[in-house]
Amino acid sequence: MKVLKVPARTIAVFIVPCLLLYVCLVFVPILVSLYTGLLKWDGLTSAHFIGFGNFKEMFFHDPVFWPSVKRTLLYSVASMLEIPLCLGMAILLNRNLKKGNTLVSIYFTPVILSVVIIGQLWKTIYNPASMGGMLNGVLISLGLDSWTHNWLTEPNIAMFALYVVSLWQYFGYHLLIQYTGVQNIPDELYEAAKIDGADGFKADRYITLPLIVPIFKISIILAFIGSLQAFDLVMVMTAGGPAHATDVISTHMYNSSFMSFKYGYGSAIATFLVVVCLVFTAFINTIFNKLERKYT
Amino acid sequence: MDKKRVKQSVTLALSAAMALSLAACGNSNNNANTSTNEATKAPDNAAAATTAPSDKKVTITFQNIYPDPATPAYKMIHELSDEYHKAHPNVTIELDTLNTDQQKVKLKTQAASKEIPDITIVNPAAQMKPFVDAGLFSPLNDMLDQNGLKDTYQAGLLDYYSFDNNVYALPDGNNIEVVYYNKDLFAQAGIAAPPTTFDELLQDVKLLKDKGITPLAIGEKDSWTGSFLFMNILLRTNGGPGFLKDVVDGKKTFEDPAFVEAVDAFQKLVAAGAFPDGATSIDANAGGNIFKSGKAAMWVIGTWETGAIDASSVAGKVGAFQFPTVDGKGDPNEFMLAPGSAFAVSANSEHLQETKDFLNFFASSYPKKQFELKNAVGLGQKVDGDLKAAGYSDLAITVAGLFNQVKGGDLSFDNTMNPATSQVHLSSIQNLFVQKVDSASVAKEHQTAFEANK
Amino acid sequence: MSKLKKGVVYLLFAIPVVTQLYPLLWLVLYSLKTNEEIMDGSFFSFPKSIQWHNYTEAYTSGSYLKYLTNSVFVTGVTMIFVILLASMAAYAISRFRWKYGNLVMTIFLMGMMIPMQATLLPLMIIFKNIHVLNTHWSLILPYVAFSTPIAVFILTGFMKAIPHEIEESAFIDGANIYRIFRSIILPVSVPPVMTVCILTFINIWNEYILAATFISSEKLKTLPFGVYTFVSQYSVNYGNIGAFLVMGALPVILIYFFLSNQITKGMVAGAVKG
């Protein structure tokens, strides 16, 4: 694949500016953060080195931590489950429409809007009926009064209400990725398959799915990382409340660092988050590499 | 208790008040050179730049939490900064205006890198202590002695901002917490007089509820609001102030009956349906709007809201009363006290003297300006002037009357306890809004957090 | 395919159009209503009379133009740097024969996993020491740095698939590597570059935590910061807030609709065959 043999100096010219900036401003800060995770530090007065003390507290004594991990993982599972649906939709679009691009662009719209707008909108949807909430209003008009809820404030429901918003917002994002992937599969392949008697879903099974695997992987990884870092939406809609019922790892980290003045502890949570990201991405990569090898 | 700068008030026409040009600020500084080159020469003059007028060009960054142009506070800070700049053309005041949440995070981040702005805003007592301990703030004692500034503050108020006999910040107000109520809605529900006991309050809640009126407005997404209300109850069940202080001093624990009773009482309020549906997803200001738009009958909040209520659609229909006694305990004339957010000066400021000079002017002119802007209720400084004659509302005068009855009280939870314990408390109280909890376990949760974060 | 089946499929396509476009419509309607109409909270209703003054008020009280100019500058400079730096890096990773290509790629990919909030304080300390706090550079630098991983990722995927005969023939003609990059690689990479543009633009245009923390001068503040302050402060006029939100979203919507045909082309181009 890589044909060009160029002098080291040229490689440096191409790679160093980007890498340097990136390492200094993304990598070094996170290394600093890894280190502060080993400190007992309020961010203001002098810090004490306590080794893995923060991690001990995090894993064994913090009542908020594990539930927030669980919610975060559920979040990412939910967003990953969305992707097969997006793929199905992408296949249908590709098969039925010549100009699917316009539709895909429309589906993508929520992605470009700021979370502030999204948050305001969905709050008016989720509001209690007494405040004119649309969802409850619809349920009541259907005679389903018993189904109404305070969607954002009932501890058992609030988190699911947030998942829905996120799935809605990123539907277009993943559809777009899948759709471009599907479009890039050469038509000749399908034509050839048709001659062999494979059409419609059968063709998908033997052509689309194997060829889409790398794209699918990209979507899965992006969905996973995105939901692990979900922050803005939770802050805008519930701020982690009521009583931590919607806290996720990133909001817990933020609150610990900036509200509870436990900066070292917050950094330890950040460390955990980064490690989980790395491990899972490696895991997903391995699985998909196996899949790819199996099909090609 | 930090979102207090929520004042919004009449879009006060900036009338003749502006004409009061600040001649008082007698600095005959007219040799200031506005050319930008001047800035580069500045270091030469630095040594001379004490109190004497100098033409050194200086920019003072003033981090503040008054972002809303509709409020008196916004006008106050802009007018005073402009006036000072006019009198001292070499000094430019750069306002870094943020909302409260942003400011908290920003200051925290700045503080951790020892790079705080010349003037910033902090909350009193326990909330500012970490910053003082880190040596970030400059003592203001010398500056307070100039122009008699110190004597303008109410006796004892500066204590909330003092550590080791040094004053580190100057408050923007001194408020108490009262119950505002909508007289029309009370009449609709057939309530003759404001409740004086907690049982009466619960009855009134029921009456209001039966009429389809939200009894108590609150925006509990910002969890300080619920805590602030809860602390009123604790102040009563404890038979007086000082519960948290006793806990800190090791004389009591959170498992004390007074605390458990307070949680019980609070839960009764929740169970009676006193609060709006979905209270924990409502922002503090949206919660206030429920009251200010006439949809809720009562609002337990600090007196800093007086001006805003007078500017809202319920103006003229609102009265105020003391928080009722609980189970016959407590003195209605003891209040939750809310000494204001306060202006602190960076110890590492490059222009320490100029900054202090400016703050001296600012704090000296502050009460007069607030009075003119009809924002003098809850002022922490003495001001000459008669509210009635100046055209203040009946509500403002009622509230000012309540101030005269103050016999003592407590500071909010997060002004008394360290931040980590406070966060546990805030979410623990927020939890009471959404589910019934065993009061003893709430107490235990508090005690555990307190001991873990000592 | 049967008519019924086709009908079902088209219905399936139509539903997301409604759900995904609705927020924009909602926002526009919101911004044209009176406070009372908004407070009544109905999900879909037209304003009785259109309140254009919401826009004039939001425009005059929100420093819109100043924030907009700053945002355009910061975002513009950031995008130029991202495209330039990331495409160079991607070129080196995907086309040069050298030992550390994969390692560098992995390092970049790891960056996608780092939450920005966790770097706030370290960045503050770095910027303090290189004296860029309270300048636009304190935003541009981290924006570029945080945008590069995904940009390198997308561009590398594309560049791997460019047939290398093109380069070889250029080499034979005596062109040097820089010239090949500039006049061959960059032009053919326009689709993925557009994708990178849009993704970078969306992220940066809406970013406010760094903007609020590193910028103190009023005259340097950016639009998302303005929008956030305007919305979360204690203004009583919801219509104004709505109008400010519309004005804040307008540039991103315009850019998006100009480039949206490109984005579908460039998103993962090349990854299938790669």
Looking at the fold, whether B183 and B318 belong to one and the same domain comes out as yes
DSSP string over B242-286: -HHHHHHTTS--TTSHHHHHHHHHHHHHHHTT-S-TTGGGS-HHH
Domain coverage including residue B234? 175-338+409-452
- For chain A, domains (ranges, CATH) are 62-295 (1.10.3720.10)
pLDDT on residue B289: 83
pLDDT on residue B48: 38
Please check whether residue C119 touches B, CB under 8 A: no
Mean local confidence (pLDDT), A153-180: 89
Assigned domain for B401 exists: no
Whether residues C117 and A267 touch (CB distance < 8 A) is answered with: no
User: Cα separation of B155 and B139, whole Å?
Assistant: 19
Looking at the fold, whether B47 and B147 belong to one and the same domain comes out as yes
- A223-246 residue pLDDT tens: 888 888 788 889 888 888 788 889
pLDDT on residue C180: 85
Q: Is the pLDDT of residue A133 over 80?
A: no
On chain C, the residues whose CB falls within 8 A of the CB of A17 are: 85, 88
Q: Is the pLDDT of residue A260 over 50?
A: yes
Looking at the fold, whether B236 and B201 belong to one and the same domain comes out as yes
On chain A, the residues whose CB falls within 8 A of the CB of C16 are: 106-107, 171-172
Comparison of pLDDT for B67 and A279, the residue scoring more = A279
Q: CA nearest A105 in C: which residue?
A: C260
Whether residues A6 and C96 touch (CB distance < 8 A) is answered with: yes
Looking at the fold, whether B163 and B276 belong to one and the same domain comes out as no
- B103-144 residue pLDDT tens: 888 898 899 888 899 999 999 988 899 899 999 999 999 999
Mean local confidence (pLDDT), A204-219: 81
User: Cα separation of B56 and B40, whole Å?
Assistant: 9
Q: Choose, out of A24, A94, A106, A112, the residue to mutate when testing the contact with C (most C CBs < 10 Å).
A: A112
On chain A, the residues whose CB falls within 8 A of the CB of C261 are: 101, 105
Looking at the fold, whether B300 and B363 belong to one and the same domain comes out as no
Looking at the fold, whether B202 and B238 belong to one and the same domain comes out as yes
- Residue B169's alpha-carbon distances to A76, B81, B152, B336, C174, in angstroms, are 46, 18, 14, 21, 71
Query: What is this structure's pTM?
Result: 0.83
Option in A131, A238, A258 nearest B104 (CB): A258
Assigned domain for B135 exists: yes
DSSP A61: I
- C136-182 residue pLDDT tens: 999 999 999 999 998 998 888 888 878 878 777 877 887 788 888 88
Assigned domain for B204 exists: yes
Option in C94, C206, C257 nearest A115 (CB): C206
Q: Which of residues 429-448 of B touch A (CB under 8 A)?
A: 430-431, 433-435
CATH at B43: 3.40.190.10
CA distance A95 to chain C (A): 11
B408-411 vs B334-339, strand pairing mode: parallel
CA distance A143 to chain B (A): 20
Whether residues A253 and C6 touch (CB distance < 8 A) is answered with: no
Assigned domain for B9 exists: no
Comparison of pLDDT for C39 and B355, the residue scoring more = B355
Q: Is the pLDDT of residue B339 over 50?
A: yes
Whether residues A44 and B434 touch (CB distance < 8 A) is answered with: no
Assigned domain for B1 exists: no
Q: Which chains contact C through at least 3 pairs of Cβ atoms less than 8 Å apart?
A: A, B
Looking at the fold, whether B106 and B43 belong to one and the same domain comes out as yes
Whether residues C212 and B106 touch (CB distance < 8 A) is answered with: yes
Q: Where are the domains of chain C?
A: 62-230
On chain B, the residues whose CB falls within 8 A of the CB of A154 are: 434
Q: Which of residues 66-95 of C touch B (CB under 8 A)?
A: none
Q: Dihedrals φ, ψ of A4, to 5°?
A: -80, 120
First to last CA, chain A: 17
Looking at the fold, whether B283 and B346 belong to one and the same domain comes out as no
Please check whether residue C268 touches B, CB under 8 A: no
Q: Which two tokens stand for residue B102?
A: 């942003």
On chain A, the residues whose CB falls within 8 A of the CB of C181 are: 14
Q: Is the pLDDT of residue C23 over 60?
A: yes
Number of structural domains in chain B: 2
Assigned domain for B77 exists: yes
The dihedral formed by the CA atoms of A212, A214, A219 and A222, expressed in degrees to the nearest 10: 180
Provide the pLDDT confidence category of residue B243 given band limits of 50, 70 and 90.
very high
Mention every residue, 6+ apart, whose C-beta is less than 8 A from residue B74. Answer: B66, B67, B68
Provide the pLDDT confidence category of residue C267 given band limits of 50, 70 and 90.
low
Closest to A275 in 3D by CA, of B196, C199, B91, C110 = C110
Whether residues C26 and A121 touch (CB distance < 8 A) is answered with: yes
CA distance A156 to chain C (A): 25
CA distance B67 to chain C (A): 7
Looking at the fold, whether B134 and B233 belong to one and the same domain comes out as no
pLDDT on residue A168: 92
CA distance A50 to chain C (A): 20
Q: Is the pLDDT of residue B29 over 70?
A: no
Closest to B248 in 3D by CA, of B408, B428, B123, B411 = B411
Considering the domain delimited by C62-230, tell me its CATH architecture. Answer: Orthogonal Bundle (1.10)
Comparison of pLDDT for C1 and A264, the residue scoring more = A264
Looking at the fold, whether B288 and B191 belong to one and the same domain comes out as yes
Looking at the fold, whether B100 and B62 belong to one and the same domain comes out as yes
Q: Which chains contact B through at least 3 pairs of Cβ atoms less than 8 Å apart?
A: A, C
Looking at the fold, whether B307 and B436 belong to one and the same domain comes out as yes
On chain B, the residues whose CB falls within 8 A of the CB of A261 are: 108, 130, 418-420
Provide the pLDDT confidence category of residue A249 given band limits of 50, 70 and 90.
very high
CA distance C21 to chain A (A): 7
Please check whether residue B223 touches A, CB under 8 A: yes
pLDDT on residue B433: 93
Mean local confidence (pLDDT), B152-157: 88
Please check whether residue B281 touches C, CB under 8 A: no
pLDDT on residue B207: 94
**Percent of residues in chain B assigned helix, strand, coil, to nearest 5:** 45, 15, 40
Provide the pLDDT confidence category of residue B39 given band limits of 50, 70 and 90.
very low
Q: Is the pLDDT of residue B32 over 80?
A: no
